[in-house]
Structure 1
Amino acid sequence: MSSLIKFHPQSSELLQYAKGDEKRPATTEPVVVPQLLVGGTTKAAEDLSAFLRLSPNLLIGTPGRLAELLSSPYVKAPSSSFEVLVMDEADRLLDLGFSQELTRILGYLPKQRRTGLFSASLSEAVERLITVGLLYPHKITVRVKSLKDGGIIQERKTPMSLQMSYLVTPASHKIAALCQLLEKLEPRPSRSIVFFSTCYAVKYFARVLHGILPGFSTVSLHGKLEPQVREKNFERFVNATSPTVLLTTDIAARGLDIPQVDLVVQHDPPTDTKVFIHRCGRAGRAGRRGMAVVMLQPGREEGYVQLLDVRQTPITPLEKPAISVTDAEAEAVSAKIRAQAQADREIFQLAQRAFVSWARSYIEHQATSIFRVSDLDWVDLAKGYGLVELPKMPEVKGIDRSLGLGIDTESIPFKDKVREKKRLAELEKWKQEKAARDAARANGDSASTKRKSNEAWSGKQEQEDTKVARREKKRRKREAQRLGQMTEKEREEQRKLEDLIEEVRKRNAAEASTAAKAGGGGDDDFEGFDD
């Protein structure tokens, strides 16, 4: 059987493919012997050893590890046996900066081959790759057409079985609205996916949503998890027999063929608008009915609907099931989350990191005319995250960081007794050092106390000393270069000038010393210029 290579930009999407563990059998019948090549899960030497042992005819992998394997002198792709190259999510491959790896891979492969590029959207980079890297390219486009009012036929980028809607709701109501959606949707969704913008947000909500979502278990999937943990969580979600919600980032927006996903909720609209359609596409696959809902804050964010319509991705207001969250219901959810943060300092710290990471992601949004930081209600956002207090950020300057809750965050303990004991010891040490600094300052030794404080906490004095040493070194180097470019006569004149300057300094110092002895050395006496 001819050899075939298929590769994908992200390792998590490859975990569902079969892994071969036996050498290709000697038979005249077509037999598929696959090998999975993913960086981070196995070492390159182990992959090479498996390749030589199994003699696979189907390689499935990420670009980096595949290029590394093909570069080995023990691996060859002769034109007599190699036939097919498949690039899944081709536009994403180039967006992630795999251009060099793709060039290396194409260089190792014979030019006489069949190459397939698959993607739900084609970028300009893919078009360039088609022009430069393919012979006799043919483009096949699959479109969905629907009949609008008035008998107008409109092309769609999503299947008719997928309902795409939006819900306008304040940030503080989003989690409560998610709970209502899961509870009211008929039939009850067995598998749901909720997208967040950052890994820390996924990690945080995976901790605090236990017991808040009505009768649903949660599974997290994001890029900061170890590959083995991602694989375990992915399989746990796919094989779940009870209603389960997958909390994830855009790592699950492409390539994952998860069966029976009924609902996709975008808690945060994607930074890249092209990702929107890929997120929605996790539901409504293979003719199965599905729903995708994006949550938008009132005001300027509602312009996201018009932006998607321009990009031929129309969405409609969510009407069924009807979602109506009161302020009291939203506050009840926030209170449950805050209670968890007050009981465990680890959750409190995680909430701070998650909120800061979300703010950074929002600032980097590509549609800056719609998603503007200046329009945000930070207090309302903090309620949506169930924060005990706002983190220190330039954007929240002038806002009451305590949110009017009056919670002493310094007293929030760690549930882990070892961590709490260490924290209390460090806190006591800090209080003692602060008391010593205050006492020294009261005795008039504020300058030395400040210098000592800076050295202990930030190392600024050491950094300044290093900078001074570097500047002096550069000055001596420039001086040496300047002297090296002088003639002998110019160097002699330079030495005479330096001797004259030194003589003047000594005379000024002697006169200043004499004047100090005669007049008592007042602070206002002029002591000459220092170089």
Structure 2
Amino acid sequence: MADDGLLVNFDIPTDAFTINHTTFKGGHWKDRLTAKKAAAYGRQKAAGIVNFQASDRGESDLRPAKRQKQSEGNHVASNSLKREVISSLFTYNPVSSTKPVEKPSNGEEVPIEPSNAPEADVLSSFTGLGLSTTLASHLQRKLNIKAPTAIQRKAIQQLCADDTDAFLQAETGSGKTLAYLLPIVNRIMQISKQMKAAGQNFTRESGLFAIILAPTRELSKQISTVLESLLSCCPWVITSTVIGGEKKKSEKARLRKGLNILVATPGRLADHVNSTDVLDLGKVRWLVLDEGDRLMELGFEKDLQRIIGALNMRARKALEPPIAGLPEKRTTVLCSATLKADVEQLQSIALKQPVSIAVGADEAAGNTDVASQVQAFSAPAQLRQGYAIVPAKQRLVTLVALLKQTFKRKGSVMKSIVFIDAADSVDFHFEVLTRGASQPTLSENVANPAVNTKGSEFRNTKPSIPQGQTIAESHTEGRGTFSGKDNEVRVFRLHGSLHQATRTSTLKAFSDCAQPAVLMATDVFSRGLDVPNIDLVIEYDPPASKDDHLHRIGRTARAGKDGRAMVFLTPGCEEGYINILKEGRPRTLTRHEADELLKKGFSPATGIVSAKSWAEAATEWQLDVERWALEHPKHLEQARRAYQSHVRAYATHVSAERGIFDMQQLHLGHLAKAFALRDKPANIGVPGQRPGKSTTKARPRAASATVKRSRTDDDADTGAAVDEADAKRKMREKMRAMGGVSEFNLG
């Protein structure tokens, strides 16, 4: 047969015809499996293909070694302990599912009339509303308040004329604090005049006539400051605060001296109602519940019931001698910018047939039914709102880019607030924004509250930067991040885990700061606080509810001034939050893209701007932060704690918004990069508690109910955990006194 050039090459196994493939039957299945493996090992050894790097048990590994899995477009570096992932900022990011709506341009922008500004009508002067000429003149000459706002006009007219309960509701920044303080101060000034006419002296010992309750210490301090400014025209009326943060002995001393108006937090006041005999509530005729919905959200319902019950019981006792001009019944005022689900519950606790005092677009004229007047109050009309669609990877660099652009020109923006959902996250972002910054001098520092407990007053006239163990290396000038030599920006942080002295001094320093400043804060700053010259509010983490959103953005555009607000949203399900933003009926709602913000923030000041230039600058900044975190174990731990706290906080959104903020849709790997982490999400774990937190566990509530511990005047804050070591020491001393008996040999 002729050779046609066809080559046949069959590869036949060497054991195909020589080795029998025996079928193993009978016996235990483990014995059969062992026999199979032994036979397979013999065949492989004969063929010379045994993998001698298999286990020492003689097991074979016929499969090839697994290829190390690489994430999409990521460079993977591994070691024996963990895998480090360095991913790109601009690859494999989700695409936005919504598109911006283009509005037709009508030429120049029409200015929007502020909705919370003082009224310009001359007839709306304070004297025409029922205030005394002394108080009205003090407002105009000393406090530079020329005319009331709409809510102030309605509230002052109602509360000065009648002694009925009131339900006060208006948008943020409209002056609700003065709306209830002015009628109270005016009525107490009238009582002092009538007492003088009746031959009675009005002093601090005349009695406590008004109590104002607020949910946070910061808001209580602010209310007290406004009240003191009003009372400067009548210094015989004495006011003070009972808010915790100091020993009860000091608070009892103030109550013992006598007060006419008391500003307090519910938990602390409820404790004094139970344990302080010098606190006489029999003459209280005005009770104000400021930010009433927040009081309920924070769990103060039982404290409020205890306080109101004590007021009702002691008000029934006849006053001896009677006070001239004192009303017979108590007036309770409930006020907030948002009152929705808790309206009926609050009404049943505190109000009796209240009159609604509301100012809004949908105000129902003449309707006095509180439950039927739950209105969807919007933000101030002049507030320009916006949202940014930012992939999870780019959150940190986009925030920095936005702040760079905001403070690029000197004098354009004075102050900004960045709202973050957790205290650990505030600490981490504060360290990121202030790394490499200069430290304040010793003369600018406030005494360490953990060392010196004699007070937190400023030691100089300059706005000083508070220091303390819980905020080590904090409150510095962030020159290295978004400040420049021509426009230095100070960075502050504020959250509920700080010492009270530090919180108070930080807020004061931020308020008094005369240069551009940024405050990193949790929602402890979102309610009622009034700081001048806040031009921009950034919601870096979306709020837990739409009511919280309204209070957050209400820190700007106050009293008729302009302001801007922006919330960060990730592409995907979070874009459903845009519809919730529209429910507030904003006059403007602008969309921003991450690339747009990054380009403005990281583009060079001079030269040709290209996509490569600003993208490389943003990437280099991100990698620099990641290297900084890896080089400092302290900051790496901060980043991990911040990541964990953020994920936990993400799951706390109200049930109505769980479909928008869906944990199942949250890309944990991309989110970790926003916290400068290169670990896999499964490897991110921090043992123990956060720094500065007590390691002693509080006694269970059920057990503490059966054990009564005597409290003296020297006891610290109510609700503090019992020192476990001190309790054990006292127990050992008690056992020795009983002759060496212990819990192990009783009986």
Residue in 1 that maps onto 2:256: 52
1:401-431 superposed Cα distances (whole Å, 9 cap, x missing partner):
9xxxxxxxxxxxxxxxxxxxxxxxxxxxxxx
2:548 to 260, 275, 279: 275
Deviation at 1:17, TM superposition (A): 4.6
CA distance in 2, matches of 1:65, 1:265: 32
**In the alignment, is the contact (CA less than 8 A) between 2:289 and 2:335 conserved in 1?**
yes
Is structure 2 residue 649 aligned with structure 1 residue 361?
Answer: yes
Deviation at 1:303, TM superposition (A): 0.6
Change (3 A) 1:350 1:182: closer
Residue in 2 that maps onto 1:184: 405
CA distance in 2, matches of 1:29, 1:249: 37
CA distance in 1, matches of 2:376, 2:497: 38
Is structure 2 residue 384 aligned with structure 1 residue 160?
Answer: no
The one-letter code sitting in structure 2 at the alignment partner of 1:205 is H
1:342-388 superposed Cα distances (whole Å, 9 cap, x missing partner):
33110011101111111111133332211122223333222222124
Is structure 2 residue 529 aligned with structure 1 residue 251?
Answer: no
Residue in 1 that maps onto 2:674: 384
Residue in 2 that maps onto 1:317: 590
The one-letter code sitting in structure 1 at the alignment partner of 2:399 is L
Q: Counting helix residues as a fraction of each chain, which structure ranks higher? A: 1
Change (3 A) 1:307 1:155: closer
Is structure 2 residue 619 aligned with structure 1 residue 331?
Answer: yes
Residue in 2 that maps onto 1:172: 393
1:303-338 superposed Cα distances (whole Å, 9 cap, x missing partner):
101133346568622469962446434322322322
Please give the secondary structure, in 2, of the residue aligned with 1:200: helix
TM superposition score normalised by structure 2: 0.48
Residue in 2 that maps onto 1:213: 482
Is structure 2 residue 508 aligned with structure 1 residue 235?
Answer: yes
1:195 to 401, 415, 419: 419
Correspondences of 1:291-440 after superposition (within 5 Å): 291-310=564-583, 312=585, 316-318=589-591, 323-325=597-599, 327-366=615-654, 367-392=657-682
CA distance in 1, matches of 2:393, 2:383: 28
The one-letter code sitting in structure 1 at the alignment partner of 2:346 is L
CA distance in 2, matches of 1:156, 1:267: 23
CA distance in 2, matches of 1:194, 1:29: 39
2:347 to 125, 130, 134: 130
The one-letter code sitting in structure 2 at the alignment partner of 1:57 is N
CA distance in 2, matches of 1:364, 1:130: 27
Correspondences of 1:14-163 after superposition (within 5 Å): 14-18=220-224, 31-39=236-244, 41-53=245-257, 55-71=258-274, 72-78=276-282, 81-110=283-312, 112-144=329-361, 157-163=378-384
The one-letter code sitting in structure 1 at the alignment partner of 2:481 is I
Deviation at 1:18, TM superposition (A): 4.4
Please give the secondary structure, in 2, of the residue aligned with 1:206: helix
**In the alignment, is the contact (CA less than 8 A) between 1:197 and 1:270 conserved in 2?**
yes
CA distance in 2, matches of 1:119, 1:104: 22
Deviation at 1:74, TM superposition (A): 2.1
Deviation at 1:122, TM superposition (A): 0.8
Residue in 2 that maps onto 1:463: none
Change (3 A) 1:178 1:32: farther
Please give the secondary structure, in 1, of the residue aligned with 2:339: coil
CA distance in 1, matches of 2:542, 2:234: 50
The one-letter code sitting in structure 2 at the alignment partner of 1:162 is L
Please give the secondary structure, in 2, of the residue aligned with 1:208: helix
CA distance in 2, matches of 1:32, 1:320: 55
Please give the secondary structure, in 1, of the residue aligned with 2:418: strand
**In the alignment, is the contact (CA less than 8 A) between 1:221 and 1:247 conserved in 2?**
yes
Q: CA RMSD in A?
A: 3.0
1:190-230 superposed Cα distances (whole Å, 9 cap, x missing partner):
11000111110001111111122334221110111111111
Deviates more, 1:157-166 or 1:171-180: 171-180
**In the alignment, is the contact (CA less than 8 A) between 2:385 and 2:566 conserved in 1?**
yes
CA distance in 2, matches of 1:320, 1:171: 13
Is structure 2 residue 217 aligned with structure 1 residue 11?
Answer: yes
Change (3 A) 1:363 1:95: closer
2:560 to 271, 282, 287: 287
Please give the secondary structure, in 1, of the residue aligned with 2:354: coil
Change (3 A) 1:329 1:385: farther
Deviates more, 1:191-200 or 1:163-172: 163-172
The one-letter code sitting in structure 2 at the alignment partner of 1:246 is L
Residue in 1 that maps onto 2:437: none
CA distance in 1, matches of 2:334, 2:641: 39
CA distance in 1, matches of 2:297, 2:597: 37
**In the alignment, is the contact (CA less than 8 A) between 2:414 and 2:515 conserved in 1?**
yes
Calculate percent identity across the aligned residue pairs.
Answer: 31
Change (3 A) 1:384 1:17: same
Higher relative contact order (CA 8 A, sep 6+): 2
Please give the secondary structure, in 1, of the residue aligned with 2:278: coil
Is structure 2 residue 532 aligned with structure 1 residue 224?
Answer: no
CA distance in 1, matches of 2:650, 2:388: 19
CA distance in 1, matches of 2:299, 2:399: 35
Change (3 A) 1:305 1:292: same
Unaligned runs of 5+ in 1: 146-153, 402-531
Residue in 2 that maps onto 1:449: none
Deviates more, 1:82-91 or 1:312-321: 312-321
CA distance in 2, matches of 1:362, 1:282: 23
Change (3 A) 1:143 1:166: same
Change (3 A) 1:165 1:156: farther
**In the alignment, is the contact (CA less than 8 A) between 1:12 and 1:227 conserved in 2?**
no
CA distance in 1, matches of 2:418, 2:382: 19
**In the alignment, is the contact (CA less than 8 A) between 2:286 and 2:332 conserved in 1?**
yes
CA distance in 2, matches of 1:156, 1:329: 42
Please give the secondary structure, in 1, of the residue aligned with 2:333: strand
Instruction: Count residues in correspondence.
Output: 380
**In the alignment, is the contact (CA less than 8 A) between 2:392 and 2:670 conserved in 1?**
yes
Change (3 A) 1:212 1:37: same
Please give the secondary structure, in 2, of the residue aligned with 1:12: helix
CA distance in 2, matches of 1:319, 1:129: 40
**In the alignment, is the contact (CA less than 8 A) between 1:34 and 1:57 conserved in 2?**
yes
